[in-house]
């Protein structure tokens, strides 16, 4: 029972088979860098990060490309508004986005191409399309001849006639067909422009992705991803350009994540701009966002509001709580330890089965939480440190496939452990003397430093918050 992935192209789950055995070429559309990134971008990044991590966990060698669209109408428009150079503006937001990816614990893409750095490749591609009759030039603009592509519309399920019917009157009169789209745009004054066979100009939106794919991966890739808002026209046009040129299937799987929904009245502007990645991460742990995202299937719309943030925060605490050490005075519990081993196996199995089913992360989390309960039960029973930490290692492994960093805090205070334990011993003596006030002071002071004490029947344990 191997991995299955839902492809937008076939609208069904397909067994995952790569072009090259054991290797995955994955291209994900990144942001147009004209403004601060929002939580929707973060969602998409996390979704594809988890897909990548799971593929690697499954033994694939993944090359992950993510582009930055830095030459674009919106970038130019914004740059002109504030009077800066468009490329410089894009550069600023690219830096910012890279930082967000780090903060969100998104594995760095293998390559991060930018439109402005792929001009040669783009020009070559447009030329080739022109030679094959799929493109035509009008006054320095080059358009893709949609009517010549008999498969046009196959990804989004649209028919040309339907689309033409919807066009308004303000279409570019120079196009042969209102549905044709720009491959190359003639430069207007004040815009970034490059030399080309058609005069000075810049690439259209869709061609950059086709060109980058060809540059870094060749004619075919395994996975092409992005938000489902890109299905049309962006990905539809990418397919058209690339497949008309190569005559081969462009991408084996088209993977699209659902949109984030900010709908609920509880999260309007009045709540503040919780939508910016920046702002969110100031107040919340990246793990919280990840859990929130992974708690629903990537293709479905994601509910995002204060309620679910709270719920995710508590859930992350529960996950971390499972990493608390074993009871200081373990007993002999062979049966319980055997059972714990079985739970670990079930957890792993359930996790894989869910993830193999089109990256069903909510199902995978279900298995993880079942493992959490088993670990907590075993600890309460008093199983040995060895048995418990084996299960905890499994928990850490599975959650790390989801990109969660449960152990981070624990690791961070790791060096302080001997001192914390010293304080615990001291406090235990104070408690034996019924000096509650001092004992509580120590507990509170440690809590302020992010170290929580748990007084159990068998003694006191601690955990990092």
Partner RNA sequence: GGCGACGUAGCCAAGUGGUAAGGCAAGGGUCUGCAAAACCCCCAUUCGCGGGUUCAAUUCCCGCCGUCGCCUCCA
Q: Does 66 bind RNA (CB under 7 A)?
A: no
Q: Does 230 bind RNA (CB under 7 A)?
A: yes
Task: Tell me the H-state helices in 196-235.
Answer: 207-217
Q: Does 301 bind RNA (CB under 7 A)?
A: yes
C-beta separation of 71 from 203 below 8 A: yes
- The residue (of 19 and 452) whose beta carbon lies closer to RNA is 452
- The residue (of 23 and 314) whose beta carbon lies closer to RNA is 314
Calculate helix-pair angle for 119-131, 207-217, nearest 10 degrees: 100
- Give the whole-angstrom CA distance, residue 419 versus residue 415: 8
Residues 417-436 that bind RNA (CB under 7 A): 431, 436
- The residue (of 60 and 304) whose beta carbon lies closer to RNA is 304
Peptide bond into 233 cis (omega under 30): yes
Residues 378-417 that bind RNA (CB under 7 A): 379-380
CB of 202 to RNA, least distance (A): 10
Task: Give phi and psi for 311, each to the nearest 5.
Answer: -60, -40
DSSP label of 66 = E
Residues 112-171 that bind RNA (CB under 7 A): 156-159, 162-163, 166-167
Distances (CA, A) of 441 to 37, 416, 453: 43, 19, 12
- Both structure tokens of 20: 């090259």
Q: Does 57 bind RNA (CB under 7 A)?
A: no
- Both structure tokens of 74: 């919106």
Stretch that binds RNA, among 128-136, 179-187, 278-286, 325-333 (CB under 7 A): 179-187
Site for RNA (CB under 7 A): how many residues? 90
- Give the whole-angstrom CA distance, residue 9 versus residue 422: 61
Residues 21-50 that bind RNA (CB under 7 A): 29-32, 38, 40-41, 43-44
Please give the helix or strand (H or E) that residue 461 lies within, else none.
Answer: strand 459-464
CB of 17 to RNA, least distance (A): 21
CB of 9 to RNA, least distance (A): 12
- Give the whole-angstrom CA distance, residue 415 versus residue 463: 13
Residue at token pair 């009077």: 83
Instruction: Give the contact letters, 235-274, x = binds to RNA (CB under 7 A), - = no.
Output: ----------------------xxxxx-xx----------
- The residue (of 157 and 272) whose beta carbon lies closer to RNA is 157
Q: Does 232 bind RNA (CB under 7 A)?
A: yes
- Give the whole-angstrom CA distance, residue 129 versus residue 136: 9
Instruction: Give the contact letters, 200-229, x = binds to RNA (CB under 7 A), - = no.
Output: ----xx--------------------xxxx
Given 19, 58, 363, 400, the residue binding RNA (CB under 7 A)? 363
- The residue (of 357 and 408) whose beta carbon lies closer to RNA is 357
- The residue (of 380 and 425) whose beta carbon lies closer to RNA is 380
CB of 207 to RNA, least distance (A): 10
Q: Does 185 bind RNA (CB under 7 A)?
A: yes
- Give the whole-angstrom CA distance, residue 323 versus residue 393: 9
Given 180, 243, 285, 337, the residue binding RNA (CB under 7 A)? 180
- Give the whole-angstrom CA distance, residue 40 versus residue 113: 21
Of the candidates 392, 358, 348, 397, the residue with the CA atom closest to the CA atom of residue 372: 392
- Both structure tokens of 91: 């550069």
Q: Does 11 bind RNA (CB under 7 A)?
A: yes
Q: Does 72 bind RNA (CB under 7 A)?
A: yes
Compute how many other C-beta atoms are within 10 angstroms of the C-beta atom of residue 92: 12
- The residue (of 59 and 169) whose beta carbon lies closer to RNA is 169
Q: Does 182 bind RNA (CB under 7 A)?
A: yes
CB of 20 to RNA, least distance (A): 25
Of the candidates 419, 404, 405, 403, the residue with the CA atom closest to the CA atom of residue 451: 419
CB of 38 to RNA, least distance (A): 7
Termini Cα distance of the chain = 39
Q: Does 296 bind RNA (CB under 7 A)?
A: yes
Q: Does 181 bind RNA (CB under 7 A)?
A: yes
- The residue (of 302 and 395) whose beta carbon lies closer to RNA is 302
Burial 68-85 (b: 16+ CB within 10 A, else e): bbbbbeebbebbeeeeee
CB of 54 to RNA, least distance (A): 15
For the CA atoms of the chain, what is the radius of gyration?
27
CB of 22 to RNA, least distance (A): 27
């Amino acid at each position: 029972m191997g991995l299955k992935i839902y492809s937008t192209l076939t609208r069904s789950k397909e067994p995952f088979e790569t072009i090259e055995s054991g290797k995955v070429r994955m291209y994900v559309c990144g942001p147009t860098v004209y403004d601060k990134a929002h939580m929707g971008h973060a969602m998409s990044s996390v979704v594809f990060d988890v897909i990548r991590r799971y593929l690697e966990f499954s033994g694939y060698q993944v090359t992950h490309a993510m582009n930055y669209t830095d030459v674009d109408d919106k970038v130019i428009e914004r740059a002109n508004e504030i009077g800066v150079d468009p490329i410089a503006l894009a550069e600023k937001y690219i830096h910012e986005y890279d930082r967000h990816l780090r903060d969100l614990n998104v594995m760095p893409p293998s390559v991060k191409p930018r439109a402005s750095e792929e001009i040669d490749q783009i020009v070559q591609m447009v030329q080739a399309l022109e030679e094959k009759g799929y493109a035509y030039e009008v006054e320095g603009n080059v358009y893709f001849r949609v009517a010549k592509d008999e498969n046009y519309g196959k990804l989004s399920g649209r028919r040309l006639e339907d689309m033409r019917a919807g066009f308004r009157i303000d279409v570019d009169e120079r196009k042969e067909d209102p549905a044709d789209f720009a491959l190359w745009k003639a430069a207007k004054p004040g815009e970034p422009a490059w030399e080309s066979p058609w005069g000075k100009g810049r690439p259209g939106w869709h061609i950059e992705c086709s060109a980058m794919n060809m540059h870094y991966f060749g004619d075919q890739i395994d996975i092409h991803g992005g938000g489902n808002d890109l299905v049309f026209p962006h990905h539809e046009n990418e397919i058209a350009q690339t497949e008309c040129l190569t005559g081969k299937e462009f991408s084996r799987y088209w993977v699209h994540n659902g949109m984030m929904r900010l709908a609920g009245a509880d999260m309007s502007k009045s709540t503040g701009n919780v939508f910016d990645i920046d702002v969110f991460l100031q107040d919340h742990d990246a793990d919280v966002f990840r859990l929130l995202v992974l708690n629903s299937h990537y293709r479905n719309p994601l509910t995002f509001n204060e309620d679910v943030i709270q719920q995710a925060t508590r859930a992350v605490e529960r996950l971390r709580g499972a990493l608390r050490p074993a009871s200081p005075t373990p007993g002999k519990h062979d049966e319980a330890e055997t059972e714990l081993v079985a739970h670990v196996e079930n957890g792993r199995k359930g996790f894989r089965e869910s993830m193999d089913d089109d990256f069903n992360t909510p199902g995978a989390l279900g298995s993880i939480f079942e493992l959490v309960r088993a670990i907590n039960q075993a600890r309460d029973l008093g199983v040995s440190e060895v048995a418990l930490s084996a299960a905890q290692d499994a928990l850490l492994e599975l959650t790390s496939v989801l990109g969660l960093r449960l152990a981070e805090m624990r690791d961070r205070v790791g060096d302080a452990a001997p001192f914390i334990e010293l304080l615990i011993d001291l406090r235990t003596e104070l408690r034996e003397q019924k000096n509650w006030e001092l004992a509580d002071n120590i507990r509170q002071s440690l809590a302020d430093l992010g170290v929580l004490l748990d007084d159990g029947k068998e003694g006191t344990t601690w955990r990092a918050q």
